[in-house]
Every structure is written in structure tokens, then in C-alpha cells.
Amino acid sequence: MYSEKVMDHFTNPRNVGEIEDASGIGEVGNAKCGDIMRMYLKIEDGKIEDVKFKTFGCGSAIASSSMATELIKGKTIEEAMALTNKAVAEALDGLPPVKMHCSVLAEQAIKAALLDYSKKHNVVIPGLDEFNFEEEDHHSVTED
């Protein structure tokens, strides 16, 4: 049911923890399963210098957040903005359809942290305004 990569990132998650002087912190949750993900970003000169996460949730959410941090570490804000939940799931060699919403949390947590950063530092990040955390329909993602 789960790929080796999912199992690897679940049992040995990368970048777990907090960043004390984070540039931006994002926390998102899924009301249906109750899982919560918190993402910490350290941004310098438009680059994600460091990223850490804490996920109180299922194995797929832990694997998704671990993979997502790997995918944006060292990248630009624009590249982090472009990371989709599908790209996270693909990098994990797939997630079961009922677990796709776990990868949505990872995408949302990054965008929530970028939003926090943009507000705290008065930086405009194109595309963030259109992103609506409330209205994201997790289930439409699983039906693709």
C-alpha cells in the first residue's frame, strides 16, 4: 500500500523540529482527520536557508512534510511557492488516494509559513493572495 519512500520518510523523517528565530511559521490542519502540521522557514536573501516541521498526524502527513522540506530547502521563495501537493506525492512515489489530503497539508503549511513571512517582513509574494486556506477542498484532490 505504501511506497518504500513513504515508509522511509515516515520512519526516518528529515528536518523535524523547530527554528527559534524563524522568518515565517505556518500551521494548518485538516478538520476531518484532525491532523496538524507546523512549518518553520528561515529565509535569507529570498532563499529558504532552513526549514523544519512538526506534524501531529498520520504517517502519510509525516512523510509528506518530510519530503516537502527536502524539496524546498535551499530553493527560492518562488520555487517553494510552486511546490504542489502532487509534486510532493510524486516525489514519495505516490500516496493512496485516501491519503492525498495529507500531501495537501504539506503544500498548505509551506504557503502558510510564506504568508507569515510576507506579513512580518512586508514582502509581497506573488500568488499568495489568491491562495485560500479555508476554502481548499481536500476531497477534490483525491478525486483527480
The residue among 88, 65, 74 whose CA lies nearest residue 17 is 65
Size of the site for ligand FES (CB under 6 A): 11
Yes or no: say if 38 and 57 are a contact pair by the CB < 8 Å rule: no
Least distance CB 72 / ligand FES (angstroms): 19
Residues that are catalytic: 33, 102
3-state secondary structure of 58: coil
What part of residues 10-69 is at the interface with ligand FES (CB under 6 A)? 30, 33, 35, 57-58, 60-61
Binding ligand FES (rule: CB under 6 A), the pick from 28, 67, 71, 105 is 105
| Euclidean distance between CA atoms 104 and 107, whole angstroms | 5
Name residue 86's amino acid.
Answer: K
Least CB distance to ligand FES at residue 33 (A): 3
Contacts of 18 (CB under 8 A, 6+ apart): 40, 52, 54
- CB of 23 or CB of 55, closer to ligand FES: 55
Q: How far is the CB of 16 from ligand FES (least distance, A)?
A: 16
Residues making contact with ligand FES (CB under 6 A):
30, 33, 35, 57-58, 60-61, 99, 101-102, 105
